[in-house]
Every structure is written in structure tokens, then in C-alpha cells.
Amino acid sequence: MNKTNSHAEISNDFDSQEQDLRLQVFKAVRNYYQHKFPAPKFTAGETYLPVSGKVFDEAELLNLVDASLDFWLTTGRYAAEFEKRFAKWMGVKYCLLVNSGSSANLLALTALTSPKLGDRRLQSGDEVITVAAGFPTTVNPIFQNQLIPVFVDIQLSTYQIDVAQLESALSSKTRAIMIAHTLGNPFDIEAVVGFAQKHDLWLIEDNCDAVGSLYQGQKTGTFGHLSTVSFYPAHHMTMGEGGAVLTSDPLLKKIVESLRDWGRDCWCAPGHDNTCNKRFEWQLGDLPYGYDHKYTYSHIGFNLKMTDMQAAIGIAQLDKLPNFIARRRENFDFLKQQLRDLQDFLIMPEPTIGSEPSWFGFLILVKETAPFTRNELVKYLEQKKIGTRLLFAGNLVKQPAYKDLFYRVIGDLHHTDQVMEKSFWLGVFPRLNEEMLIYIASTIREFIGDSVNE
């Protein structure tokens, strides 16, 4: 069924009674939205300001209900539409929806271990260059595939990989690079891509923080062999849970799809059979000739599909995405301007040269010479109802989960430790308005003033 995201028109595929009933439901949903979700009010010092959150209107709720009325509980028409539209928006050939950004990272890295890649496949003991300053699920798939992470440091102010350490990280076992565009700021893509090409390495971009970020005018998530996106409520757009793997490589697309869908060799969509027109004519592995292709498996896979109800929300969010990105940039720039006179105490975030970030957060690092600590400032902000977050796991190698695992470290990760001990970030997501940002900045200024005068 061809279906748009408009609910003013009902598809002719429905009979007249169903069309009428759906319109009645949609009218009730609009009324419910107006009652349930009135415009929020802000009172400084009383209304909590989170660092992130979902931004939606009645369109998302209408799509969610529309999908639920089909009672198609797995991937379906909305997912197919989203994959097509999002791939086009990003500038890649393929988008494969999954149930989370973390699953997207797992699939992207696991895909590189596929036997279908021949001599280029990653195998147990191979090394993957990454950073320790970030979110665990960028690194966890490396461990989960019996590979060895090689941790390099980051640069201050951009908080992206220190590309000067790439050559030191290289060994005869190095086969891939997997790093994130942390908090929406692109890493030095020219240097990383050049290094990967020079040494014939796979590159995975974790683009979960950075949907809409540009590097030399091109969207991040389009430079690597594979990239990943998250649709968790904290991110640039949401489906509640959800994520995607992006690629323009047909073979990698087929591998990711197989791994996502139980490891099967068949590529039929749910509810469809015999797309290949030879369902009972395959000869694969040691199976008998003609064994049902729907039950033939070429990978040790998972079931990480998304539901159509989630994808329905994503369709409505995708229409809003350009505005979401613009608002994040505006909020970042406004907050930085508001805090410009505090640079004796705080290091402000800087975009990577040649980039135009789609900011996920505003990272602040408290200087060594400041008369206060990061923890004191964060505690004060939280008391004033201003949400804060640390840079995720800080230094991953100091987390208890990684204590007994094997990895390599380049240098002493000094900047990573500084970020772990002295930084935090504030929100710039679209629901924060100028009044709220002024309150955030004035509260920081108030705290610093009191600290200096003590």
C-alpha cells in the first residue's frame, strides 16, 4: 500500500467504512493530543531543564496510532518508507533500520567479520583503533567480536580523536577504525579517511550524536564504509528506541541485513515469500538441493528489527529534522556567546576545522586554575534545576566493566583523563529556548562570581 505521512487523506486501499473509522480515530487523537500535551511553561529555578528530550506534536501521535490500527507488529510499510527517505536525506544508498543505535554499532562491526568479505574479513585478534572518551557501545562490539581495541587520546576543545597518534596506534594487526563524532562535532575526517585508505583499513563512523553534521560540506555518516545512527529520545530525532546502519556498499548492505534478520540468507521482507523467484532451487552449504531459502542461514545472526510503530514516529520526526538541526546550532551559538566572558575559568567547545556540527551538547571543561571543581559547579547547577551530563563513560579503560579485558593504549590518555575529571555538558536540544539558555548562563555566572569572591 502506498501511504504518505499525511492523515488528511486515507488510502483507497481501505474500504469506505474503514476510511471513515480511521478519520474518526484521527480526530479523537488530535483532540487527545491538545488535552494531554499542552505547551510547557518555564519558571526559572522551578522547571527542570534536561540536557535532552523528545520534541514532537500531533503528527507523531497520529502516525503511531495509524500504524497500530494495522496491527502489523514487526517491520512494515512505515519502516520501508523511512529507510528509503532517510537514505536519500543522508546521501547514501542504503538505510537498514534496527532496534537501537547500540544494535546498529554491533551490526556494523560484526558485518566486517563476515566470511563473505574473504581476506578482508576481521578475525579474532585483529585490532580496531578507537578512543576511550565516549559511549561504551562504540567500543563494546570490538570486544564482543573477540577483537582488540587500540585506544588513542583526544584533543581538547574539539574532544575528537587525536589524529597525530594514528601512526603510533598502527600495527601489523590493525584492520579497522571505529570512532564517533562525539557530541555532534565531526572528527578530522580528512586525516582519518586518508589514514584508512593508506593502510587499507575499514572505517565505521558512529554518527549517533551527529545526524546533520557537515564536514567540508558533506554529511557525516557518508565517509565510512558503514555508519550508524541512534533514534533514542535524547538524539536529534526519535522513535523512542531505534537506530540504523547506513552504507552505500551492496555487499555490506546484504551482510548487515542478514545479521539483523536472524542470520538468514533470504532477503524477503516480513510477510513476503520468494522474492528471488527460486526459493526452492538453492544449493547452499551442505543442505539438500532445494532447501527452503527462507530457512537457510549464512551468518550467526540476531533479531534486531524495528517495529513499524516506531518507524511511523520516525516518518513524522524526519519532516522536522532540518529544523531540529538548525535549532541545535542556534542554541549552541547563543549559549557560547552568553558564556564568552567566562573563559578565564572554562574551556569552551570548538568545532573541528572545516566542519559545521549538528551539536548534540555543549561540553565545558573547568580549567586547572579555576577556584572551583567540576563537581561543585555541576552540583550547583543541578540544585538550580539545570540538567548536566558527563562525557558518557569518561575514560573507558577505568570503568569496572573493562578491568580484565585485553586492549592496547597509546600514550597516557592524558586529555581523556582531563575530560573525565573536569568536564560536563549542557543541553542544546530544540525545546530549550532563549529564556532558558539565559537562565543557564546566568546561573553559571552567578556560581563563578560567588566562587571568586569567597
Tens of pLDDT, residues 295-352:
999 999 999 999 999 999 999 999 999 999 999 999 999 999 999 999 999 999 999 9
**Would you say 5 and 316 are in contact if contact means Cβ atoms under 8 Å apart?**
yes
CATH code assigned to 321-453: 3.90.1150.10
At 25 the pLDDT is: 95
Whether the pLDDT of residue 39 is over 50: the answer is yes
In the chain, how many H helices and how many E strands? 12, 14
Q: Which contiguous run of DSSP H or E holds residue 336?
A: helix 308-338
- With a pLDDT cut of 90, the percent of the chain lying above it is 91
DSSP annotation string for 78-100: HHHHHHHHHHHHHT-SEEEEESB
pLDDT for res 169: 98
Residue 12: the pLDDT is 64
Query: What is the domain partition of the chain in residue ranges?
Result: 77-309, 321-453
Q: Order of strands, edge to edge, in the sheet holding 361-366?
A: 346-347, 361-366, 423-427
β-sheet with 355-356: strand ranges across: 218-219, 214-215, 355-356
pLDDT at position 1: 33
Tens digit of pLDDT for each residue in 194-231? 999 999 999 999 999 999 999 999 999 999 999 999 99
Q: How far apart are CA 406 and CA 33, in angstroms?
A: 51
Of 306, 299, 307, 308, the residue nearest 262 (C-alpha): 299
Instruction: Judge residue 210's burial from the number of C-beta atoms within 10 Å of its C-beta, 0-12 exposed, 13-18 middle, 19 or more buried.
Output: buried
Q: At residue 358, does pLDDT exceed 70? A: yes
199 is catalytic: no
Architecture of the domain defined by 77-309: 3-Layer(aba) Sandwich (3.40)
Distance CA 439, CA 384 (A): 10
Cell of 176: 579497522
Strand pairing partners for 149? 128
Catalytic position from the list 7, 181, 225, 235: 235
Task: Bin 419: left if φ > 0, else alpha if -120 < ψ < 50, else beta.
Answer: alpha
Instruction: Take residue 313 and report the three cell numbers written for it.
Output: 514516529
Structure confidence by residue, pLDDT tens digits, 117-146: 999 999 999 999 999 999 999 999 999 999
pLDDT above 70 for 447: yes
